[in-house]
């Protein structure tokens, strides 16, 4: 029953916020609720203090913001536990370049992650967009110009493995970019989302460096390349004799996102991975020392 009361409290906050947004955006087409029956069900559930057989569904709505200075559309999807959990908000701006729009949504998600849980934040998010959207109007991703000396260096590429540590990786946009860019550059390795966030990429030196340069241009609370390994590039017939020798070539068959028993702190997308399982994974690859290099502590592998 306690859980139902908490759910009723969350829904009550959602309904109150929706009414507030309606008063701020009262014009025709300014605020559009995807399915109004969801509101009726939520009201019944709140009126019954959670003692109801109503099957709850997530509230979704669209806010169209238009003024002389700015025009954008915000698609808002609220988890049932919002505002305990953060909302999913996507901003579409027709006049923005695709890369600028992606960065705007990434930065908005970071802003929302920093807000207080249990407090509604849709209006604050919309105001943040209005105040900051002008910063993204001229952002364009120009293709890198490869100079002749760099091209010559690429012919003599080495094999490189980079170990990247971020304060956290929660954003679905960043997680998608991390995977897509590694695939695009034919790099292997892994990404471990959560707090802290860890990325390992391995491949040709030029591709690994290009990946890191591209990645660090995104907005991060804190990110750094903590460790780098360079080896002569192995030939096609290379066969390592032991784990120590193996790390001089690819340790991973592909690039993938790892998920090691994520556990949260009751704040929505904020979660930690089981680092003991990461330690065991690194040991199996002959990369035992990396755990201390990244995190500054001796690792303790998870039990089987």
Residue that finishes a domain, picked among 81, 111, 136: 136
CATH at 37: 3.10.110.10
Please answer whether residues 117 and 76 qualify as being in contact, where contact means their C-beta atoms are separated by less than 8 angstroms: no
Residues 287 and 162 in one domain: yes
Task: Based on the fold, state whether residues 95 and 200 are members of the same structural domain.
Answer: no
Instruction: Judge if 258 and 157 occupy the same domain.
Output: yes
Clarify whether residues 227 and 131 are in a common domain. Answer: no
Same domain, 171 and 107: no
Asked if residue 143 is part of any domain, the answer here is no
250, part of any domain: yes
Q: What angle do CA 173, 176, 179 make, to 5 degrees?
A: 150
User: 136, 160, 194 — which closes off a domain?
Assistant: 136
Give the domain range for residue 98. Answer: 2-136
163 in the same domain as 261: yes
127 and 208 together in one domain: no
28 occurs within a structural domain: yes
Q: Is residue 144 assigned to a domain?
A: no
Instruction: Evaluate whether residue 128 is within a structural domain.
Output: yes
- Flag whether 202 is in a domain: yes
Flag whether 254 is in a domain: yes
CATH number at residue 266: 3.30.70.100
**3-state class of 185 per DSSP?**
coil
Q: Is the peptide bond before 196 cis (omega within 30 degrees of 0)?
A: yes
Closest CA to 251 of 199, 293, 189: 189
Q: Do residue 132 and residue 158 come from a single domain?
A: no
Going residue by residue through the chain, which has 304 residues, state the pLDDT in tens, using 9 for 90 and above: 788 899 999 999 999 999 999 999 999 999 999 899 999 999 999 999 878 888 899 999 999 999 877 899 999 999 999 999 999 999 999 888 888 888 899 899 989 988 888 899 999 999 999 999 988 876 544 444 444 444 444 455 789 999 999 999 988 889 989 999 999 999 999 999 988 999 999 999 999 999 999 999 888 889 999 999 999 987 777 676 666 777 888 999 999 999 886 655 544 455 677 888 889 999 988 898 999 999 886 645 444 4
The pTM (predicted TM-score) of the whole model is: 0.62
Q: Based on the structure, what is the number of domains in the chain?
A: 2
- Joined tokens for residue 168: 């956290």
The verdict on 201 and 236 lying in the same domain is yes
Q: How far apart are CA 232 and CA 157, in angstroms?
A: 8
What pLDDT was estimated at residue 143? 47
What are the angstrom distances between the C-alpha of 301 and each of 225, 262, 276, 284, 288? Answer: 24, 16, 4, 11, 10
Torsion sign (Cα): 238, 242, 246, 251: positive
200-213: burial string, b at 16+ Cβ within 10 Å, e else: bbbbbbbbbbbbbe
- Alpha carbon distance 253, 209 (integer Å): 19
Q: Which of 73, 103, 136 is the last residue of a domain?
A: 136
CA–CA distance, 6 with 11 (Å, rounded to integer): 9
Determine how many CB atoms are found less than 10 A away from the CB of residue 40.
11
Question: Do 203 and 238 share a structural domain?
Answer: yes
Do 130 and 17 lie in a common domain? Answer: yes
**Is 302 inside any structural domain?**
no
Tokens of 105: 């949504």
- Residues 124, 211 within the same domain: no
């Amino acid at each position: 029953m306690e859980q139902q009361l908490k759910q009723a409290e969350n829904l009550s906050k959602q309904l109150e916020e929706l009414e507030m947004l309606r008063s701020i955006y009262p014009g025709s087409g300014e605020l559009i609720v995807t399915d109004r029956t969801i509101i009726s069900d939520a009201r019944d559930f709140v009126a019954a203090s959670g003692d109801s057989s109503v099957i709850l569904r997530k509230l979704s709505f669209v806010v169209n913001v238009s003024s002389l200075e700015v025009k954008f559309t915000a698609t808002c999807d609220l988890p049932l536990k919002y505002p305990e959990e953060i909302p999913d908000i996507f901003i579409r701006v027709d006049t923005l370049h695709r890369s600028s729009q992606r960065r705007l949504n990434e930065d908005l998600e970071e802003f929302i992650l920093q807000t207080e849980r249990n407090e509604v934040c849709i209006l604050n998010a919309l105001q943040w967009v209005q105040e900051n959207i002008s910063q993204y109007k001229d952002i364009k991703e120009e293709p890198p110009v490869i100079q002749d000396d760099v091209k010559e260096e690429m012919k003599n590429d080495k094999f490189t493995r980079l170990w990247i540590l971020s304060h956290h990786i929660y954003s679905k946009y960043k997680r998608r970019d991390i995977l897509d860019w590694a695939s695009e550059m034919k790099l292997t390795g892994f990404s471990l989302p959560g707090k802290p966030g860890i990325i390992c990429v391995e491949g040709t030196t030029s591709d690994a460096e290009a990946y890191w340069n591209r990645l660090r241009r995104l907005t991060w609370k804190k990110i750094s390349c903590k460790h780098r390994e360079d080896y002569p590039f192995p030939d096609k017939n290379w066969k390592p004799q032991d784990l120590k020798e193996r790390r001089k070539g690819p340790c991973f068959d592909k690039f993938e996102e790892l998920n090691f028993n994520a556990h949260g702190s009751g704040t929505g997308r904020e979660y930690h991975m089981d680092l003991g399982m990461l330690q065991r994974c690194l040991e199996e690859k002959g990369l035992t020392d990396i755990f201390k290099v990244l995190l500054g502590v001796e690792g303790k592998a998870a039990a089987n």
